[in-house]
A and B are shown apart, each in its own frame.
Chain A
Amino acid sequence: MAERTIRVLVAKPGLDGHDRGALVIAQGLRDAGMEVVYSGLRQTPEQIVAAALQEDVDCIGLSSLSGAHMELFPEVVRLLRAQGADDILVVGGGVIPREDIPALKEAGIAEVFTPGTSIQETVEFIRTHVRRKEVPQDIPEPPDRIDHIGIAVPSLREALPFYTEQLGMRVIHQEVIEDQQVTAAFLAVGESTVELLEPTAPDSPIAKFLDKRGPGIHHVAYRVKDVAERLRRAREAGCRLIDEEPRPGGHGKLIAFVHPKSTGGVLTEFCQRVDE
């Protein structure tokens, strides 16, 4: 499913009638491609939260120039939480003394934009902090195949017979990868391989993995055409990366890892053959 446009409710809590800032921001966010709903003046926190839910927005921008922010902004967040809608990003702006900002952030206002903030700053903040409701719109082609699955084992000698004798897979290559402190055995299956990994030192990454989680799937590697491009997309989507740049992975491969936190719990590798 495509990611929809970011929807923002620009709201004026309290009795303040100064709406120049709110209107300029609303227009600026629209010009930046967001969908903007403007609440109009004199909204209670209850009305603002109701409108946010009804309009299914991703972000609420609160504006007050009358000094009522300390009472009204946190109330909006509190009501959102009570409704289980605290995934909505709340930001604020207006005549707000700097010393009030820590307390507002403490109360759950993600950011406070004071006079002199550019529209661009606000746009960027919302873009990077809003909870994306659906997947990216420009969906790439899937990876060509699963390049390999890495399985951590305490002992190759003990693990190999299952694969070779029961499944009849052939070890096509075995090597000690010094910098990873691992001995790897590659077993072919169709166009992919299974990679059995045995640690060579007690403090190696694989040894630590085994200590923490026991033997099992260590990572899944996807064959892609352009590791750098995949990394860029992942980074933009806010994924946690282990490698910021592609690096050589042996066998004429270029590889990079993405942290399990961003992939559903499995260390994920992108790999690209550069010799093809």
Chain B
Amino acid sequence: MVVASLRLEVSEAHDVGPSIRRALPFPPVRILTPDAIIEWVTAGWERGVRRVSDFEQRYEEWEKKTEQTVKKRPERKESFVTSSGIVVRRLYVPRCGDKKELKRYMENVGFPGEYPFTRGVQRTMYRGRFWTMRQYAGFGTAEETNRRFRYLLEQGQTGLSTAFDLPTQIGYDSDHPMARGEVGKVGVAISSLADMEQLFDGIPLDKVTTSMTINAPAAVLLAMYIVVGEKQGVPSEKLGGTTQNDILKEYVARGTYIFPPKPSMRLITDIFAYCSEKVPQWNTISISGYHIREAGSTAVQEVAFTLANAIAYVEAAVKRGLDVDTFGPRLSFFFNAHNHFFEEIAKFRAARRLWARIMRERFGAKNPKSWQLRFHTQTGGSTLTAQQPDNNIVRVTIQALAAVLGGTQSLHTNSRDEALALPTEESARIALRTQQIIAFESGVADTVDPLAGSYYVEELTDEIERRAMEYIEKIDEMGGAVQAIEAGYMQREIRDAAYRTQMAVENGEEIVVGVNAFRVEDEPEPELLRVDPRLGERRRKELADLRAGRSAAEVETALARLKEAAQGTDNLMPYIVDAVRGYATLGEICGVLRDVFGEYRPAQW
């Protein structure tokens, strides 16, 4: 028995090439003498039953490949050490374990930058480069937001993230009657290319990446960004950034939809196809669990519904005839970080693993980049309290730390005053500093996935993956995410979870510090950011000037061509880019599409 198994072990090892031989106690041979067998076995026991295995082989391969990567792109420091002089290694792996356990480790946890990416999408993670610190900003006019952008870049922020006001997000110009009261309130008001030019004035688009929280009219805002790039002399191939472009979660949780699901999905796949050719570095979609969580879902539901929506996008694109490996690598994700520290970390790890499996096994993607779930994280807005707002700084720190330990690619930390209003400049700076303290002072970024191997975290990761998969199967049975949404299934599940949370807070099962415990009376309200209430009026005038100053004929032609294309099957992106270039407004472009596509009206349930 022993002989047989040893033979197998050695011959397996023999087949894998020279690198492994160094790890063997003696050179592999086809036939072993009894003495040699005894010696081999004894040596094995002495090494703590750590026998040469697939595991050692893969670890060694990983190290070799990683060294090559590091040679090309060095890490932040030559060596990382603690205050006590203890050297912090790039990666910590199981020291020993039986064969079954190591096999399970390789299948479920693996190595960073390798399938199934549980430990992260890059080999060196933050030892190479910190996550992108990307604070969401935008309010009032393009001019004011441009100033906030420049301020954040001066403060050491590394990427931009644009918040648009609600009229922009719903495809209305600032002077539309439906825009009443909303202009410039939750983000910047952008109605035409002229506004976009002002928004990025003095910010070279080849030097920053820009994330845009824009969904139903994503094609229009992306077109504006492309044309601003053109005018700066930056070709579209060099533009980097993200359009959220995730319409399904708008129906589920966020509410800024315009068109019904079918034409919306067409616009999204048009962007996939257009960008794969013209804007190859653009993240064409950011499939978002953030708002699902904000609407009250659990962590499991956040993962499940986000990935169910992602599956729907991939299916739509494949159906459209796109190859999964051309658009797959440009899909990105967006998650929330709430207070339950370990569950959040496990959630990110589980989502990464689940997506890798879905892309490889379900969609047959071949390109490892298609398997990688890259994601942005924002700390949980709904966890912020209006009471004792400075406490929110601490909440945000815990949540940001969870995102970093979960391996996020970029991060927005909320400001302490966001349960009251948009953040002031001071609050926005503290939020950014929070990330910088985690990055530069805490040391958590010095080794990759430090919580791997924690019994608790690994089990939570497994459990979240399992439960999310159950939801996904259920949604598959319903015919997929679009059907599940149309039937109100996700919405109901989220609403019920939100209500349970509220009840738990009201009956004291869940403590929210400062709200249902540890209250103080008569708190002073902090200084808040106010958006100029007369902005709507000013914008009406600006738009009137714009409409008077452009070539009406050019706009009319471009819109007519867009309309015709919308009625057919052409990719709409080039038509939209043309219309934008002639200063057709967002409202005019979306108006044409509204005429052709109709508007979404949710069923009451």
Contact = CB atoms under 8 A, between A and B. Distances in A.
A95 interface: yes
Contacts of B167: 15
A20 B506 contact: no
B166 A14 contact: yes
B170 A20 contact: no
A114 interface: yes
Contacts of B525: 97-99
Contacts of A15: 166-167, 169-170, 172, 178-179, 182, 256
A114 B515 CA distance: 12
A101 to B, nearest CB: 10
B185 A42 contact: no
Interface stretch (B99-107, B381-389, B478-486): B381-389
Contact of B254 (A17, A28, A71, A97): A17
Contacts of A70: 181, 533
A274 interface: no
Contacts of A114: 386
A204 interface: no
Contact of B250 (A17, A44, A120): A17
Most chain B beta-carbon contacts within 10 A, residue among A16, A17, A67, A68: A67
Interface stretch (B33-41, B368-376, B495-503): B495-503
A67 B533 CA distance: 10
B421 A67 contact: yes
Interface string B473-513: 00000000000000000000001001100100110000010
Interface string B294-333: 1110000000000000000000000000000000000000
B422 interface: yes
B255 interface: yes
Given A17-B254, A114-B386, A97 B528 contact: yes
B419 interface: yes
A223 to B, nearest CB: 45
A24 B498 CA distance: 7
A131 B179 CA distance: 33
A18 B180 contact: no
Contacts of A71: 180-181, 533
B604 interface: yes
Contact of A41 (B182, B255, B387, B498): B255
A20 B255 CA distance: 11
B178 A42 contact: yes
B595 to A, nearest CB: 19
A262 interface: no
Given A17-B254, A24-B296, A116-B515, A95 B498 contact: no
B602 interface: yes
Contact of B498 (A23, A68, A120): A23
B234 interface: no
B565 interface: no
A97 B178 contact: no
A115 interface: yes
A271 to B, nearest CB: 43
A167 B55 CA distance: 115
B430 interface: no
B186 interface: yes
A67 B417 CA distance: 14
B420 interface: yes
Interface in A83-104: 95, 97-99
Contacts of B499: 23-24, 27-28
Contacts of A28: 499, 502
A226 interface: no
A14 B604 contact: no
A66 to B, nearest CB: 5
Nearest to B421: A97
B180 A119 contact: no
B429 to A, nearest CB: 21
Interface of A is mostly: loop
Interface string A110-129: 00001110111000000000
Nearest to B255: A17
A155 B515 CA distance: 64
B438 interface: no
Contacts of B182: 14-16, 66-68
B386 A115 contact: yes
- How many A residues touch the partner, as a band? 20 to 34
Contacts of B604: 38, 40
Q: Which residue of B178, B185, B515, B528 has the most chain A CB atoms within 10 A of its CB atom?
A: B185
A72 B180 contact: yes
Interface string B405-438: 0000000000000011110000000000000000
B531 interface: yes
Nearest to A15: B166
A99 B386 CA distance: 13
Contacts of B506: 118-120
A38 B488 CA distance: 15
B181 A68 contact: yes
Contact of A20 (B169, B296, B385): B296
A70 B533 CA distance: 9
Interface in A108-164: 114-116, 118-120
A35 interface: no
Contacts of B185: 66-68
Given A27-B495, A28-B502, A14 B181 contact: yes
A95 to B, nearest CB: 7
Interface string A8-50: 0000001111111001100110000000001011101000000
Nearest to A37: B604
B170 to A, nearest CB: 5
A38 B315 CA distance: 34
Interface in B57-77: none
A17 to B, nearest CB: 2
A120 B516 CA distance: 13
Given A15-B178, A97-B421, A119 B502 contact: yes
A67 B172 CA distance: 18
Contacts of A98: 525
Given A71-B180, A116-B515, A17 B420 contact: no
A72 B181 contact: yes
A20 B178 contact: no
A135 B272 CA distance: 63
B31 to A, nearest CB: 71
A193 B186 CA distance: 71
Nearest to B523: A98
The residue among B186, B296, B422 with the most chain A CB atoms within 10 A of its own CB is B186
A42 B171 CA distance: 13
Interface string B230-254: 0000000000000000000010001
Contacts of B180: 14, 44, 68, 71-72
A54 B516 CA distance: 38
Nearest to A39: B604
Contacts of B502: 24, 28, 119
B420 A97 contact: yes
A66 B166 contact: yes
A128 to B, nearest CB: 19
A155 B549 CA distance: 91
16 contacts: A14-B182, A15-B166, A16-B166, A16-B255, A17-B254, A20-B296, A24-B502, A38-B604, A68-B185, A95-B421, A97-B421, A98-B525, A114-B386, A116-B385, A116-B512, A118-B505
List the 5 shortest-distance A-B pairs measured between CB atoms, nearest first.
A17-B255, A71-B181, A68-B181, A15-B166, A67-B185
Interface of B: 166-167, 169-170, 172, 178-182, 185-186, 250, 254-256, 294-296, 382, 385-387, 419-422, 495, 498-499, 502, 505-506, 512, 515-516, 525, 528, 531, 533, 602, 604
Given A23-B498, A44-B180, A71-B181, 7 more contacts: A27-B495, A66-B185, A68-B181, A72-B180, A99-B525, A116-B512, A116-B515
